[in-house]
Structure 1
Amino acid sequence: MALVPLKKRRRAPSPPAGPPGPGRFPDVVLCLVEKRMGASRRAFLTQLAWAKGFRVDRAYSAAVTHVVSEQNSGAEVAQWLEQQREECGDGGDPALLDISWFTESMGAGRPVEIESRHRLRVAELAPHGRQMAPYACQRRTPLLHSNQPLTDVLEDGVCAEVERVKLSERYRTMKLFTKIFGVGVRTASRWYQEGLRTLLDLQERNTKLTRQQQAGLRHYGDLNTPVERSEAESTSRAVQEAVKRFLPGASVTLAGGFRRGKPRGHDVDLLLTHPEEGREVGLLSRVVSWLDSQGLILYQHSQENSYGLREGPEPLGGRDVMDRFERCFSIFRLEAQGGPGAPRGWKAVRVDLVVAPVSQFPFALLGWTGSRHFERELRRFASRERKMVLNSHALYDTRQNLFLPATSEEEIFEHLGLEYVPPAQRNA
Structure 2
Amino acid sequence: MEAAAGAAEPGAAALPKRLKLNPSAPSRFSAAPFLKGIKVFVPQSGIPYLSTKAKFWSASVRRAGGSLTRLRPGGSKPPASAVQGRGHPGSPVAASRSRGSSPDGSKGRGEGRSDQRGSGDKQPKGGVAGEGGQQLQYVSHQWVEQSLARQQLLPPADYPPPDPDAQVHTPTAVARPPSRTGQSLGSGAASGGSAPSGEALQRMRWLGPQLWHARCADMSANELALQAGGPAAAAAAVLPLLLLLCLLCLLCLLCLLPSLLYLRLPAEACRALHAVLAVYSRKRSEEIGNEPVVKALSELSRYERALHDDYFTVQETGKQDQVNHRALRYSRAASAVRACAYKLQPNLRGGQLPFVGDVTASQIKDILESGTCQALECFRRVADVAVTDSKGRRRRDSVGGATRALFHSLPGVGVQAAKRWWDLGCRCFEDVELAAEPGGPLGQGGAFPLTRDQRFSLGHRGDLLEVAIPGEVREMLVAVQQGLEAVSHPGWRVELVGGGRRSAAAHDADFLATHPSQPVSGVVRRLRDRLVAAGRLVPPERGICWFDHIYGVFRTASGKVRRMDVIIAPPDEFCFALVGWIGSRTYLRFMRAFAKDQGLYLNSHRLMQKQGNESFVVPDERSPLDKAGQERWPPGWGPGRRVECERDVFELLQVPYREPHERDAP
What TM-score results when the alignment is normalised by the length of structure 1?
0.68
2:610 equivalent in structure 1? 398
Q: Quick check: 1:378 aligned with 2:591?
A: yes
2:74 and 2:499 mapped to 1: Cα distance? 48
2:228 equivalent in structure 1? 139
- Does the 8 A contact of 1:215 with 1:299 survive in 2? no
Distance 1:304 1:228, change over 3 A: same
What are the superposed Cα offsets for residues 214-266 of structure 1, whole Å, 9 maximum, x if unpaired?
A: 22223211101111122112101111011111222222111112222x22201
1:14 equivalent in structure 2? none
The offset of 1:36, in angstroms, is 9.0
Which amino acid is 1:402 matched to? F
Among candidates 226, 242, 257, match of residue 499 of structure 2? 257
Q: Quick check: 1:179 aligned with 2:421?
A: no
Among candidates 507, 518, 521, match of residue 266 of structure 1? 507
Range with greater deviation from structure 2 (187-196 or 24-33)? 24-33
Distance 1:127 1:214, change over 3 A: same
What are the superposed Cα offsets for residues 26-49 of structure 1, whole Å, 9 maximum, x if unpaired?
A: 996523789795799599769969
2:434 equivalent in structure 1? 201
Which amino acid is 1:30 matched to? P
Identify unmatched segments of 5+ residues in structure 2: 1-36, 76-93, 99-121, 127-139, 162-197, 230-279, 296-369, 384-399, 620-642
2:371 equivalent in structure 1? 157
2:209 equivalent in structure 1? 128
Distance 1:38 1:172, change over 3 A: closer
Which amino acid is 1:368 matched to? W
Distance 1:92 1:302, change over 3 A: farther
1:287 equivalent in structure 2? 527
Which amino acid is 1:258 matched to? G
Which amino acid is 1:416 matched to? L
- Does the 8 A contact of 1:29 with 1:65 survive in 2? no
- Does the 8 A contact of 1:379 with 1:391 survive in 2? yes
1:355 equivalent in structure 2? 568
Note the aligned Cα RMSD (angstroms). Answer: 4.3
2:654 equivalent in structure 1? 417
2:71 equivalent in structure 1? 57
1:270 and 1:52 mapped to 2: Cα distance? 63
1:31 equivalent in structure 2? 44
Distance 1:199 1:176, change over 3 A: farther
Which amino acid is 2:410 matched to? I
The SS at the match of 2:283 is: coil
- Does the 8 A contact of 2:495 with 2:511 survive in 1? yes
1:389 and 1:152 mapped to 2: Cα distance? 33
Distance 1:65 1:231, change over 3 A: same
- Does the 8 A contact of 2:39 with 2:66 survive in 1? no
Distance 1:36 1:403, change over 3 A: farther
2:68 and 2:465 mapped to 1: Cα distance? 62
The offset of 1:52, in angstroms, is 4.8
Q: Quick check: 1:407 aligned with 2:644?
A: yes
For these two proteins, the number of residue pairs brought into alignment is 347
The SS at the match of 1:329 is: strand
Give the strand-richer structure, 1 or 2.
Answer: 1
The SS at the match of 1:349 is: strand
The offset of 1:209, in angstroms, is 1.8
- Does the 8 A contact of 2:39 with 2:67 survive in 1? no
Range with greater deviation from structure 2 (124-133 or 366-375)? 124-133
What TM-score results when the alignment is normalised by the length of structure 2?
0.45
Q: Quick check: 1:240 aligned with 2:452?
A: no
The percent identity for this pair of structures is 26
1:333 equivalent in structure 2? 555
- Does the 8 A contact of 2:602 with 2:608 survive in 1? yes
The offset of 1:202, in angstroms, is 3.6
1:159 and 1:131 mapped to 2: Cα distance? 33
- Does the 8 A contact of 1:34 with 1:42 survive in 2? no
Which amino acid is 1:158 matched to? T
Distance 1:112 1:25, change over 3 A: farther
1:189 equivalent in structure 2? 419
2:599 and 2:499 mapped to 1: Cα distance? 29
- Does the 8 A contact of 1:97 with 1:120 survive in 2? no
Distance 1:60 1:227, change over 3 A: farther
The offset of 1:100, in angstroms, is 3.3
Identify unmatched segments of 5+ residues in structure 1: 1-23, 67-89, 306-325, 337-345
Higher relative contact order, chain-length normalized (CA < 8 Å, sep 6+): 1
Which amino acid is 2:573 matched to? Q
